[in-house]
Amino acid sequence: MTPKRIAAKDLKHHWQIYLFALPAVLFIGLFQYYPATSNIYHSFFRWNGADISDWVGFENYKLLIANADFWRSFRVALLLGLWNVVKMIPAVVVAICIHRCTSERMQWFYRVMFVAPMVVPGLVVVLIWRSFFFEATAGYLNHFLMSTGLFNVLVWGDKFLGLGGIFQAGQKPAWLGDGRLLLVACVVWGFPWVGSFAVLTHLAKLQNIPKHLYEAAALDGVTWWSKFSKLELPLMAGSINIVLVFVIIDTIKDAGMILALAGMEGGPGGVVTVPALFMLRKAFIEQQMGAACAVGIVLTVTVMGLKKLLDAVGRWEELSGGARWRLRFMGIGLAGLVYTFLQSPALAIIILAALVPWFRWIDQILDLFRGQPKPVKPGEKTESLWNRIGAALLTTTRHGFIWLVLAAAYLPMYLMLVVSLKNNTQFYDAPAAISAPFHWENWATAMQKVLPALSNSVFVASCSTMLTLLLALGAAYFFARVRVPGTAFLWNALLVLMMMPTIANLVPLFRLLTDLSLVNTLTALILVGAAGGQTFAIFVLRDFVADLPQDLFEAAEIDGASHLRQMFTVVLPLSGSILGVIGVMHAIGQWNDFVLPLIIIRDEVRLPVMVQLLRMAGEYIKLWGPLMAGYALASLPVILLFIASMKLFSRGLTEGAVKE
Amino acid sequence: MIGKALRLAPAVILIAAFSWAAISVAVRSVAEAPPDVKVIRIGHWQLEGGVRDGFNQMGAEFAALPEVIKKYGKVRIVQDAIPEGIYGQWISTQMIAATAPDIVEVGLGLPGPIWLAYQSRYFYPLTDMANAPNPFNAGTDLAGMALKDTMGDGMRSGYQEELQEYTRVPLARFTSRVFYNRDLLKKLTGLSAPPRDFRSFTAVCEQISKAHDPTGQPYVPIASSKYHVGMWIGNLFDPLTYSAVFKADFNRDGFVGNDETFAAIRSGALSFDSKLVRAKYDGLKQMVRYFQAGFTGLTRDEAVFLFAQQRAVFICTGTWDAGSLIQQAEGKFTVGATIYPQPAQNDPEYGSLVFGPNFDPAGQGFPFGITRFSKHPGLARDFLLYLASRAGNARLNQIIGWIPATLGAPLPPLLAGFEPVNTGMYTALNTDLGGQTVVKSQQLVSLLQTDPSYKVDQFLTEFGQFYRSQGVADWEEAQRDWRRAITNNERSLAVMRGEALLRAADKPSDVSWIRYRDYLSHRQLFQDLGHVRQVRMVVNPDATVRAPYAYSPEALARIKADLSHSSATTGPTP
């Protein structure tokens, strides 16, 4: 549907249309644009957030450019980002394995099974990995390495590659205590890295492949690899691109998980300091709010640049030959910059490697072995031995692979539940073993501690989600239905916002909340959460509303329906699934957020559940049983919400909630 | 029908969950602060169960006192117990947002200069309170005495030199010792008590590290964590820098402040290459070899459990942990305690830096100040006074299991014998300039502890270069904070001068003029002179700017003789 153009002279008859966008614009203006502007302004001041505010010009930027730690933080973020791209592979493989299951029941079963462990809040997973897997003397990662003999391989590899004794015989590696291993720990945590959002998005895309295409491919003798590379991958490319953009940008702008894993210092030597953590330290430890604002600006510019680049790469197939070469040259330039400024040859090599068309080359190599596919004659065996082995292996290992991934994914949940029924003595004797007597009272203790925080989180997530949907629907209607003076400006302003990391504006946002007397209130979390969720929601909903049949609106207009009536009678009834998807995604995001509440909420009675867990984990003498029961209680609502809305989610995704 | 119900179930559950949450939030908001109740919030980082119990009980008792009810009506004490790891950031945001609790524990999580700036901006000075009697001591022999005189250290630890004000009231006293598993030590080394000097102690650790338990796992000589390593540094290695006092105590107050350290290093009076600086980090590097792998990634309780599980022989901790440590060992093994193993005076490496025993940094701790954001500052002061009274302080520390700060308050029986060593060498090198130098120092010291390939030389070069160059900005910031406090001086001086003019305008020998001149010289002129000297040393390191005078050889000899005559007390084994 093309938006109806309304000229300026006709505005007097249609001025009400602005009211649809006004609340969202005000919200975004106050909680997104004002902090961003204030960020730019304060980045030119030596500002302590309170009574000192001296104009220093570009001094903060000059100091940043000269600060080796700042550049190192970008190197760490880029490295983590690249690893996170690698960590996307299991989700793709799992999605394909599930999709290729012939039994629909098994497909459904696997989906449900995968959702539960994957929506356990990231903070809970980090804390479990911290306590159970990375601990040097009794952690399961070291147990695993020792018992499988892999540790000896690592020791040999250390000697062979001259790693400087990271792995030494008889000495258990200290994953979080050794600066040389901390980055590895930041990569490893969360294994097997199968995010529910990624799997469901990929699956939704795969479901769009008509069955007859597979049948035709089988008749044409297409191999398992070609099915993947020629059929599935191109169709998944959109969803992979979306997940890729989310992953890289999230890594660069995120500090929460690193904070939980390595602390405010970023571990020994600050080896895992990422830009956002660098900024938080500048602001809230060093009291250099002006410098922190400058970091925020650099972070925003970087994220915007990256987003542009990734968008261009995502539209690779649509690009002309010249544009592709220009991008390649930009990539080479970027690699040069990374090598020069970040002093990271490894990163530069990875960037250069990313410019190579691997899939085309693999296909070309495989083509050498398989020759041209021939039409199948009745009774004829079409596949070469090579292909038959590949297909057989795929069939037999498909379920095995899924079960293996499931086992690894459920391990943290298993530990959480088993330990939640132990007292400390039982826990230290054998943490992973089920041991009697069961201490059910741990759950009662956890309830006492976590229940108020749970109610806060439910309240905040619900209110913020409702507000987001309400405002975004109006704004989406405005952008999809009409083109009035100012539409383009507002839309472009939204586009910019899509690329602006909220955390970069944290310091001015905090000041704003202080000035509005909203610090230490749930209202602040609701308002900021709703403002943050607007952009994504408006984008998705605008496309959805624009795709609705024009006839419906015309019929409504002929019947004399106002815009408000059209929105409630035409748009709303048709957008249940899409609103469901946006709502669930927003609610889960709000539930898992802990950086903002950590900073602005003071009183225990107002803490959302994630911050409460962080505080419980910080107790001197941990009571492991109640702590784990608390983790489980904090995860339960999200798991239930996701399972309950899975069908809706899949339908929403298929309907285009997430468009490439 | 059933199908329809199932379809509606998620929506019903969502509505029910939201209703429950909304009602809970509303009920809590109403119950939190009824209009007729005055609420005092107390923020601290002590997550020991006892502390929270202590405040709860003391709060309830205070609120039930007839004089409190008469004066304030209904009172409620609420506490915000924040984990150490996020306390600094939490306090920063609360201060800037003007939402800080009424009473706040001071000193953790932020660089010293930032705390100084916060005390200057956001805390009430408590000098008048320190100089007035504590009404809650009425009826005891402390009645009528100024609050500061009722405290074990004369409330010296609550005094902020730079602000020239009392800003905190300490509520407990701490000492730290090395605890050991007697049985395991005997079994592995044949010794019934560990050696008291560094060299022999590390030899014993080496011996322990070679022993294996029945499952083939090597024993850990010292259970440690990120938390414990600070105690080893503070009690054992920091005092090795004591001789910096002879070179860098430019204002001759007996301490080398962070500003003096910086000026000394910038001007070359001290260097990161000097023996005393190297000794501190070299000793630390030697000691951490006997800590368990990955100790910097461990928390306090994980190290304690390693000790409790009899996997480690030694652990250092303070009186605040002694009770829980002994409790966890009960029935399994006997716990002993000893002083930190200081290098002997004839030690080939460090002997020349040892002039006597180590001073026990057993100052009063658990210090609380009152913030300017308090809606009921009078009530907050009264609660703090109640906690600092002899009866209140004894009761609070009895519940927690710590050493009381107030004179005459009895010690919990468990802690008898943890009396501090009051004479000896103390930390004299303070590179804590605040800002980025602190972050860098934390990062690199952590690397030094954990990376065997990262040598002391590398650390000293890397941190030294950073400190000398990047430290200027932090030093300037600290100096600016200091300058802000000068206005307090000027106010006091104006009042004193006015008083002198009124009393004896033309009699320079009058006591009011003498007091004015004395205050002016000590609090203003000398401070300014010191500041100017430091500025010149920092701005122009090559210029030959030094202290106005040096210790005479006789004075130095006397100091050293005093130190070597003083003897350490270890405190009996619990």
pLDDT digits (tens, 9 = 90+) for B368-419: 999 999 999 999 999 999 999 999 999 999 888 888 889 888 877 667 667 6
- A177 vs B218: CB contact, 8 Å cut-off? no
Spatial contact of A460 and A525, defined as CB atoms under 8 Å apart: yes
Distance CA B317, CA B329 (A): 15
Strand order in the sheet with B176-181: B220-223, B312-318, B176-181, B335-338
What pLDDT digit, counting tens, does each position of A586-630 carry? 998 899 888 888 888 888 889 999 988 888 877 666 678 888 999
> How far apart are alpha carbons B426 and A215 in whole angstroms?
83
Record: contact A69-B440, CB cut-off 8 A = yes
**B48 contacts on A by Cβ (under 8 Å):** 620-621
Please give the C-alpha separations between residue B568 and each of B200, B357, B404, in angstroms, as whole numbers. 18, 6, 22
**Angle, in degrees to the nearest 10, between helices A576-592 and A646-654:** 120
pLDDT of residue A16: 83
Which residues are CB-neighbours of B169 under 8 A, at least 6 positions away? B126, B129, B130, B147, B151, B155, B158, B367, B368, B369, B384, B385, B387, B388
What is the pLDDT at residue A545?
86
Q: Do B93 and A600 touch (CB under 8 A)?
A: yes
CA angle B107, B108, B112 (to 5 degrees): 60
Q: Which of B220, B446, B451 sits opposite A265 (nearest CB)?
A: B446
The pLDDT, as a whole number, for residue B567 is 46
Comparing alpha-carbon positions, the chain B residue that sits nearest to A613 is: B83
What is the arithmetic mean of pLDDT over B529-544?
74
Lowest mean pLDDT among A533-542, A544-553, B5-14, B104-113: B5-14
The stretch A60-87 carries a mean pLDDT of: 87
Q: Contacts of residue B449 in chain A, CB cutoff 8 Å? A: 268
Q: Amino acid identity, residue A151?
A: F
ipTM of this predicted structure: 0.77
pLDDT of residue B568: 41
pTM: 0.73
Q: What's chain A's average pLDDT?
A: 81
Q: Are B111 and A622 an interchain contact pair (Cβ–Cβ within 8 Å)?
A: no
| Mean pLDDT, rounded, for A161-188 | 81
Residue A515 has pLDDT above 60, yes or no: yes
Structure tokens at A123: 């903070």
Give the chain B residue nearest A172 (alpha carbons).
Answer: B293
pLDDT at B94 over 60: yes
Determine whether the interchain pair A49/B96 forms a contact, defined as Cβ–Cβ distance below 8 Å.
yes
Most confident of A182-191, B186-195, B479-488: B186-195
Chain B residues in contact with A281 by the CB 8 A cut-off are 439
Q: Which amino acid is at B508?
A: P
Q: Does B96 touch chain A (CB under 8 A)?
A: yes
Question: In this model, does residue B574 exceed pLDDT 50?
Answer: no
Residue A46 predicted with pLDDT over 80: yes
Q: How confident is the model at residue B181 (pLDDT cuts 50, 70, 90)?
A: very high
Query: In this complex, which of A281, A454, A621 lies closest to B301 when CB atoms are compared?
Result: A621
Chain mean position to CA A382? 43
User: B439: which chain A residues are within 8 Å (Cβ-Cβ)?
Assistant: 265, 270, 281, 285-286
DSSP string, B258-300: HHHHHHHHHHTSS-TTSHHHHHHHHHHHHHHTTBPTTGGGS-H
Task: Write the pLDDT tens digit of every residue in B165-176.
Answer: 899 999 998 888
> What is the pairing mode between strands B37-44 and B103-105?
parallel
Chain A residue closest in CA terms to B89: A284
Which of A654, A446, A321, A285 is closest to B108 using CA atoms? A285
CA distance B157 to B162: 13
- Sort strands B220-223 and B312-318 into parallel, antiparallel or unpaired: parallel
Residue B426 to residue B419: CA distance in whole angstroms: 17
B449 CB near a chain A CB, below 8 Å?
A: yes
Q: Among the residues of A384-521, which ranges form H helices?
A: 385-419, 424-429, 441-481, 487-499, 506-515
Q: Is the dihedral of CA A27, A31, A36, A38 positive or negative?
A: positive
Handedness of CA A458, A260, A145, A425 (dihedral sign): negative
How many angstroms away from the CA of B563 is the closest CA of chain A?
A: 37
Alpha carbons A440 and A423: distance in angstroms, whole number = 10
B99: contact with A, CB 8 A cutoff: yes
Burial class (CB in 10 A: 0-12, 13-18, 19+), A297: buried
* Closest chain A residue to the Cα of B296, Cα to Cα: A177
pLDDT at A377: 58
Helix A487-499 × helix A289-314 angle, to 10°: 100
Chain B residue nearest residue A606, CA to CA: B25
Which pLDDT value is given to residue B570?
Answer: 38
What mean pLDDT, rounded, does chain B reach?
84
Pick from B288, B289, B278: which is nearest to B349 by CA? B278
B16 CA to chain A: closest CA distance, Å?
A: 11
Give bridge partners of residue A171 from the DSSP assignment.
A168
Measured in angstroms, the CA of A604 and the nearest CA of chain B are apart by 7
Q: Does B302 touch chain A (CB under 8 A)?
A: yes
Distance CA A104, CA B389 (A): 74
Closest-CA residue in chain A for B441? Answer: A269
Question: What Cα–Cα distance (Å) separates residue A91 from each residue in A277, A476, A597, B81, B118?
Answer: 28, 31, 30, 40, 49
Q: Chain B window 310-369: which residues touch A at a Cβ cutoff of 8 Å?
A: 311, 324
Contact A238, A288 (CB under 8 A): no
CB contact under 8 A, A268 and B449: yes
Chain B residues whose beta carbon lies within 8 Å of the beta carbon of residue A640: 13
Burial class for B214, CB neighbours closer than 10 Å (0-12, 13-18, 19+): exposed
Contacts with A, B 31-60, CB within 8 Å: 32, 41, 47-49
Cβ within 8 Å, pair B92-A176: no
Assess B215–A contact: CB distance below 8 Å, yes or no.
no
pLDDT at A376: 55
Nearest CB to A136 within list B83, B114, B294: B294
Q: Which residue of A has its CA nearest to B30?
A: A605
- pLDDT surpasses 50 at B572: no
C-beta separation of A129 from A190 below 8 A: yes
Question: Stretch A460-485: mean pLDDT, rounded?
Answer: 91
Angle at A467 between CA A464 and CA A473, to 5 degrees: 135
Residue A103: exposure state from Cβ atoms within 10 A (0-12, 13-18, ≥19): exposed
**Record: contact A135-B294, CB cut-off 8 A:** yes
- CB distance from B95 to chain A under 8 Å? yes
pLDDT of residue B372: 93
| B114 contacts on A by Cβ (under 8 Å) | 285-287
| A550: amino acid identity, one letter | Q
The SS3 of residue A379 is coil
pLDDT at residue B573, rounded to an integer: 38
Provide the pLDDT confidence category of residue B422 given band limits of 50, 70 and 90.
low
Give the A:B interface size as CB pairs under 8 Å: 211
pLDDT at A241 over 60: yes
Tokens found for residue B290? 């006997």
pLDDT of residue A439: 92
What is the spatial distance between Cα A256 and Cα A250, in angstroms, rounded to a whole number? 10
Is A50 within 8 Å of B96 when comparing Cβ atoms? yes
Gap from B379 CA to chain A (nearest CA, Å): 20
Calculate how close chain A gets to B212, using CA atoms only, in Å: 12
Report the pLDDT value the prediction gives residue A383, as an integer from 0 to 100. Answer: 56
% of chain B with per-residue pLDDT over 90: 31
Burial class from Cβ neighbours inside 10 Å (0-12, 13-18, 19+) for residue B168 reads buried
What integer pLDDT is reported at residue A97 of this predicted model?
A: 83
Average the pLDDT over each of A520-529, A611-620, A629-638 and give the range with the smallest value. A611-620
Query: Cα–Cα distance between A260 and A270 in angstroms, integer?
Result: 14
Question: Is 70 exceeded by the pLDDT of residue A369?
Answer: no
Across the interface, whether the CB atoms of B443 and A268 are under 8 A apart is answered yes
